[in-house]
Amino acid sequence: MAKHQLHPENWVDQHADYLFNYAVGRVSDAEIAKDLVQETFMAGLNSSKNFKGDAAERTWLVSILKRKVIDHYRKINSKKGKAEVRMSYSSDTDAEGDWLEQQVADPFSKDGDNVMENEELGMAIQDCMSKLPEKQALVFKMKTIQDMSTEDVCNELGINPSNLWVMIHRARTALMGCLNENWF
């Protein structure tokens, strides 16, 4: 298998838009996203000697950007006196990232280790969920936390799949807004 090469002279043209969209999706602020992309390029240049060529150039840059996003939230959290969020990244995938509920421990889980890892974030999620409209919170909990099938949730609540996905989307959006405002 051929090793990938770095071409920093092409980074802005080939990767800036992609990295910016990735960053703005995670920090919800265009100026911060621009700064994170710039920091990513600088870190990439500074650590280019460490590039082994096992991953594609974009994959490598995204992994740097993910660490920059995590550092951004750590900095904010330390200012607020909050615990850091433990996030994992596998360089084996080019995945865009998962929804919040897939990244953190299930606050309703009986598994003590997972709850301890993200106890503070779990409490923040529960607090934000309590602010959702009742049916939206119920749909979100049943589908994403309890992992019920779409059919079962729809049958139990008397809604159709389109309504379910609209409610899930609205709940996720509201939860992220609430968490960005009150936790991050």
CATH level 3 topology of 8-97: Rna Polymerase Sigma Factor; Chain: A (1.10.1740)
What CATH number has the domain spanning 119-182? 1.10.10.10
2: left (phi over 0), alpha (psi -120 to 50) or beta: beta
Spatial contact of 89 and 69, defined as CB atoms under 8 Å apart: no
Spatial contact of 51 and 6, defined as CB atoms under 8 Å apart: yes
pLDDT tens, position by position, for the chain (184 residues)? Answer: 668 888 899 999 999 999 999 888 888 889 999 999 999 999 999 988 888 888 889 989 998 999 898 888 888 766 554 343 434 444 444 444 444 444 444 444 444 444 444 566 777 778 888 899 988 988 888 888 778 888 888 888 889 988 888 998 998 889 888 888 876 5
Q: Where in the chain are the domains?
A: 8-97, 119-182
Render the burial of 145-181: b for 16+ CB within 10 Å, e for the rest: eeebeeeebbeeeeeeeeebeebbeebbebbbebbee
CA 139/CA 125 separation, integer angstroms: 15
pLDDT at 184: 58
First to last CA, the chain: 42
pLDDT at 126: 80
pLDDT at 84: 39
pLDDT at 48: 87
pLDDT at 36: 95
